[in-house]
Structure 1
Amino acid sequence: MADAAGRLTKLAEEVLGAPLPVRIRAWDRSESGPPGAPTLVFRNRRALRRLLFKPGELGLARAWVAGDIDVDGDLYDALDLLAGLVWERGSDAPKPQRAAVLRALARPEVRHAARELLTLVGAPVPPAPPAEESRRRRGPLHTLLRDKEAISHHYDVGNDFYELVLGPSMVYSCAYWEAPDATLEDAQRDKLDLICRKLALQEDQRLLDVGCGWGSMVLHAAREYGVRAVGITLSEEQATYARKRIAEAGLADRVEIRVQDYREIKDEPFDAISSVGMAEHVGRARYAEYADALYALLRPGGRLLNHQIARRPLADEETYHVDEFIDRYVFPDGELAPVGRTVAQLEEAGFEVRDVEAIREHYALTLRQWVTNLERHWDAALRLTSLGRARVWRLYMAASALSFERNRIGVNQVLAVRTPEPGASGLPLRARTWTG
């Protein structure tokens, strides 16, 4: 296939109706596209087969995870240039894009070019998806068993791998940065402390941490504020790791880690609840149940801090679809909601929402630091997991950082109170003293 890059560029531009923003280098060493731009490298013909048999985001993701496609140049720059074509999130773009592609493929000259490519790429069958792709899930969304399987797919990758990416804090959520040049460890400690101050934690209060991860939140709250804490997770590996950390800190008498779903807790009431980076897994079908359950677990006057990624609202909410790459490779069954819907559903459950803090720029900084950690320890990461899994993480974290930077998605801390009768919230007149 002489000048494969030129042919690929021509076909892509015919379909897109616009110049391709990146260069292409093909397996025959041919190159095409704007000079100086990041280069999308097609390492073999199988990469093209993946895109032809599954056009768009999922085909590109499979090619990336399998190592059939790579980027020569800055990954962030390449993803930013490609965002409007395949990686755009939080907008109405995908359906119009698919319609435009179908219209383009209906043109005779494009059909001819596509047929020519199909005859030259080799085997006329689609390649098998990479092993890292989650299996197709059936049945109702967000049952206890299905949620446990989805959480295991993402979190049971190996604690040693997470240590490389997250650093010593082992906090897998947005940090809170005093300045861009602060350390990740300081920023994660500041985030944990900010949550504790928003919850106004006091010695011997009962704290429930929903989705406790590797135990960082309950560990900080027990050590620094003297609370008695329960942390729940659906990941066996996380629970084992968290219990070891707590025992080593001498806090086993104050902190309990359970492998348990929030819908299974029966030992209420709690004085405070933190839910950090967990509600994205709940899904719209179960969010009212989630809000009702947390309300019931709190004592009157108790506070909830809900830290949650949000997407931009759509003109027609029924058009919302879960990102295929994220659903297949990262967070199976995960769903994002606009912050307004989250606030409304918490209030419908009975909460009084008292504060909403948007911190999306903080998540972009956090993700870029995680990518740096992964790239710095790449060889060690490959000893701990598969090459495909490491590539999944590098792609999803870099793409997510850009999504936060471009305001395609955000993250918010919502402070809500189970306000008792006759209506005293327990907050000071100037509640935001915690940010000082």
Structure 2
Amino acid sequence: MFEKTFYKEFLKHSFNIPIKVNYWDGKTDVYGDGKPQATITFKEPVPIKDIQRNASLSLGEAYMDGKIEVDGSIEDLIDSAYTQSTSFMRNHKFIQWLPKAGKHTAKADKEDIQKHYDIGNDFYRLWLDKTMTYSCAYWEHPDDSLYDAQIQKVDHILAKLHPQPNRTLLDIGCGWGTLMLRAAKKYHLKVVGDTLSQEQYDYVKKEIKDQGLEDVADVRLEDYRKLGDVHFDYITSVGMFEHVGKDNLDGYFNCVYKYLKPNGIALIHGITRQQGGATNAWINKYIFPGGYVPGLSENIQHIIDNHMQIADLESLRRHYQRTLEHWDQNFRAKIPEVKKMFDERFIRMWDMYLQACAGSFKAGNIDVMQYLITKGASGHNLPMTRDYMYKD
């Protein structure tokens, strides 16, 4: 009896949209006014103590294991839960947002990166676009393809640097190399990419050779902190600082400072929370081991403490929501192929990850920011207005 009472109160306060709940005992309740926008079915109860300890982790695992089914949009449910002030996603009694210290040694970081990015290029190739870009795209038009939006994102980043030909660029956390290789080909820069992923390294190495860019492009399988006494005119880093951990953020921005030449310019792009830094137990356990999403003011303070200045700051939150929606649509279309690689639990996990992140961006729980940073007085190597960022 207490168990059912707990669930009723828990779910009644969790969403700001009407939902239908089918319980394990065959009973059904509707919470909220109007026609239910989603149906949640509990095939068996999740232990109350697990929900109280960490609702995100326990409910996420229950969905992965098929103990919970959702008929409707997980993205909309997550958006609703973050919007509802009394929900388990915002109430401190149910979710622990305080960051937990993680050991971010060079060895641990390499293992964490490879757990996610070395799942296999064949897997990522199924649902990313042909650029193999695994970060927020930039949607200039509603009907842009995912490929067009990713190319636009890369050009938007590089244009902000106001790059001059034959100068040097370091891409920290270069992924599958789209940004660094476009910088070499379109903007005539000499580029170096850095990654801890063996799969990404092998892919970029082959692309450099296939595209005939050996004279102007190089990729290193190396911890970003161990690149040596090198200096660059420009630095880019996309979707990287979320992996370094709270305690290493200052060191990360110090590396940006150290590797930049005097008056150099960096564009740092990553997931940020305007409400302050956070971790999520389910994401950390199953998706991004060692991950930490820093707060906006936290990053700004690290930039200032490392003697750099912000020339421009832009939020792309809605762009990432749309990117994730495209990824999930692609992923779902390729489930027959994914089933040849992974089991049902992995498929449910990955689908929930993409939808939940889209919902979190939609609700404003997380954001993605582009920090345009200069080493030296802000902007004297940049045009006076923003117009240059949007010219072809």
TM-score (norm. length: structure 2): 0.88
Give the distance between the partners of 2:95 and 2:271, measured in 1 at CA. 26
Matched, 1:212 2:169: no
Find out whether 1:288 has 2:250 as its counterpart: yes
For residues 139 and 410 of structure 1, do their structure 2 counterparts lie closer, same or farther at Cα, with a shift above 3 Å needed?
Answer: closer
Q: Aligned to 1:352, which of 309, 312, 316?
A: 309
- Cα distance change on mapping 1:87 and 1:217 into 2, 3 Å: farther
Distance 1:142 1:86, change over 3 A: farther
Aligned to 1:54: 50
Gaps of 5+ in 2: none
Tell which structure's C-alpha radius of gyration is larger.
1
Number of the residue aligned with 2:110: 148
Counterpart of 1:68?
A: 67
Structure 1 pair 300/367, CA: closer, same or farther in 2 (3 Å)? same
* Corresponding residue number in structure 2 for 1:201: 163
Distance 1:140 1:364, change over 3 A: closer
2:368 corresponds to which letter in structure 1? Answer: V
Structure 1: 5+ residue stretches without partners:
1-5, 100-137, 315-319
Structure 1 counterpart of 2:230, one-letter code:
E
Report deviation, 1:246: 2.3
Residues 214 and 86 (structure 1), Cα distance of their counterparts in 2 relative to 1, 3 Å cut: farther
Question: What SS does the corresponding residue of 1:272 show, helix, strand or coil?
Answer: strand
Distance 1:29 1:247, change over 3 A: farther
Distance 2:209 2:345 in 1: 34
Q: Which residue is 1:36 aligned to?
A: 36
RMSD: 2.6
What is the CA distance between 1:190 and its match in structure 2? 0.6
CA distance in 1, matches of 2:38, 2:317: 26
Question: What is the correspondence of 1:43-122 to structure 2 with a 5 Å cutoff?
Answer: 43=43, 45=44, 48=45, 50-52=46-48, 54-55=50-51, 56-83=55-82, 84=84, 88=89, 93-97=90-94
Q: Which residue of 2 aligns with 1:113?
A: none
Give the CA deviation at 1:40. 1.4
Q: Distance in 1 between matches of 2:14 and 2:360?
A: 23
Give the CA deviation at 1:53: 5.1
Q: Deviations over 1:7-47 (max 9, x none)?
A: 9764412456648853233566654435634111234x3xx
Q: In the alignment, what sits opposite 1:367?
A: 324
**Per-residue CA distance 1:199-258 (angstroms, 9 max, x = gap):** 222332211100011111111111111211111111111111222222222223322111
CA distance in 2 between partners of 1:139 and 1:32 (Å): 40
RCO higher in structure (CA 8 A, sep ≥6): 2
CA distance in 1, matches of 2:111, 2:57: 21
For 2:239 and 2:259, locate their aligned partners in 1 and report how far apart those are by CA, in whole Å: 19
- Deviation, 1:193, is 0.7
Q: For 2:340, what is the secondary structure of its paired residue?
A: helix
Residue of 13, 35, 54 corresponding to 2:8: 13
Note if 1:256 corresponds to 2:218: yes
- Say whether the 8 Å CA contact 1:173–1:277 is kept in structure 2: yes
1:377 to 329, 334, 338: 334
* 1:67–1:407 distance in 2 versus 1, CA, 3 Å: same
Identity of aligned residues (%): 34
Q: Which has the higher helix share?
A: 1
- The answer to whether residue 263 in structure 2 is matched with residue 301 in structure 1 is yes
> Structure 1 CA distance, aligned partners of 2:375 and 2:229?
17
Q: State whether residues 307 and 375 of structure 2, in contact with CA within 8 Å, keep that contact through their aligned partners in structure 1.
A: yes
Aligned length: 378
Residue 20 of structure 2 is matched in structure 1 by 23
Answer with 252-261 or 28-37: which moved more.
28-37
8 Å CA contact retained: 2:183, 2:189: yes
Aligned to 1:109: none
Q: 2-side partners of 1:368 and 1:402: how far apart?
A: 9
Where in structure 1 do 4 or more consecutive aligned residues deviate above 6 Å? none
Structure 2 SS opposite 1:258 = strand
Q: What CA distance in whole angstroms lies between the structure 1 residues aligned with 2:288 and 2:278? A: 14
When normalised by structure 1's length, the TM-score is 0.80
Equivalent AA in structure 1 for residue 50 of structure 2: K
**CA distance in structure 2 between the aligned counterparts of 1:271 and 1:19, rounded to whole angstroms:** 49
Q: Deviations over 1:160-209 (max 9, x none)?
A: 11112212121111111112221111111011011111122233221110
In the alignment, is the contact (CA less than 8 A) between 1:167 and 1:185 conserved in 2?
yes
